[in-house]
Amino acid sequence: NGIRDALGDKIYIPRAIEYAGQVITVYDPIVHTAAEEQEEDPNSLRRSSNRYDTRYVLCDRPTVITGGELSLSMLDLVYNPTARTYQAPLQLKSSGGVFIVDDLGRQEEPPQALVNRWIVPLEENRDILALQSGEKFEVPFDTLVIFSTNFHPNEIFDKAALRRIFFKIKIDGPNQEDYLKIFAMVARKRKMPLDEDTLVYLIKNKYPSIDNIYANYQPIFLVDQMIAICEFEGIPYQMSPELIDRAWANMFVKEEKIVH
């Protein structure tokens, strides 16, 4: 969303497109956020320039996020036999915005197969879709595709695929200073009072057990765990070494046998 917001403008999304007499629905209220229309001043001598073709919807640039559930079929047209219309695939709905494939490598299809599906779109900015009849046609491919993975790229892509992914950015975990800033920000947002002694306990007694490896998700997890404990026990939100111990125990699974 931050990348989308950085673009800083709005776009017009067609409610539907038509090809060979077949209607393909593009606008999706789940994906697209319609922009608020500005009311026209009734005393103005000039009509507002905000009027536009109502076959389009003025929207924020879309952000489509998929994860392990992504399959190749979700990148094709979906036919609705009741309405006798098609639903646009995810990449077409994300036109003008951002398409994020999270947890790449955990999908049912191999990641190489997903990238192969996008070789032509990524290189030529056009995609090829097919109707039920088998007839194929081109549509624009105008979306910023971002792949996110915990695997090393060499484990999931061949050299040809790596060439087609132009920018590769390694995102490391935060250092201790940044970690504490994230923790403070999360606590402030959750209205959890910060306790300096508890943070010192966390840093000096807990993190050495995992080689002082900090991750961005950990502050949110720990704060939410402490909040859940406080709400369950009916006590005010608070931080303490005891609550940190209990929250920490839920963040990792112990290596122990399960007795049936």
pLDDT, residue 249, reads 93
Please state, as a whole number, how many other Cβ atoms lie within 10 Å of the Cβ of residue 243.
21
Please report, for the chain, the start and end positions of each structural domain, with discontinuous segments joined by +.
2-164, 176-251
pLDDT in tens, 104-133: 888 888 888 888 888 889 889 999 999 999
What CATH fold (topology level) applies to the domain 176-251? Helicase, Ruva Protein; domain 3 (1.10.8)
SS (H, E, C) 31-87: CCCECCCCCCCCCCCCCCCCCCCCCEEEEECCEEEECCCCCHHHHCCEEECCCCEEE
* 91, pLDDT greater than 70: yes
Nearest to 146 by CA among 66, 247, 57, 46: 66
Average pLDDT over residues 20-42: 85
Helix (H) or strand (E) holding 127: strand 126-130
State how far the Cα of 179 lies from the Cα of 143, in Å rounded to an integer: 32
| Mean pLDDT for all residues in the chain | 89
Q: Which whole-number Å values give the CA distances from 168 to 121, 149, 160, in the listed order?
A: 18, 11, 14
pLDDT at 47: 56
Q: How confident is the model at residue 13 (pLDDT cuts 50, 70, 90)?
A: very high
Element (H, E) at 24: strand 22-25
Say how far residue 245 (Cα) sits from the centre of its chain: 31
Mean pLDDT over 61-79 rounds to 92
The CATH topology of domain 2-164 is Rossmann fold (3.40.50)
pLDDT tens by residue, 178-232:
999 999 999 999 999 999 999 999 999 999 999 999 999 999 999 999 999 999 9
Q: Is the separation of the CB atoms in 148 and 103 below 8 Å?
A: yes
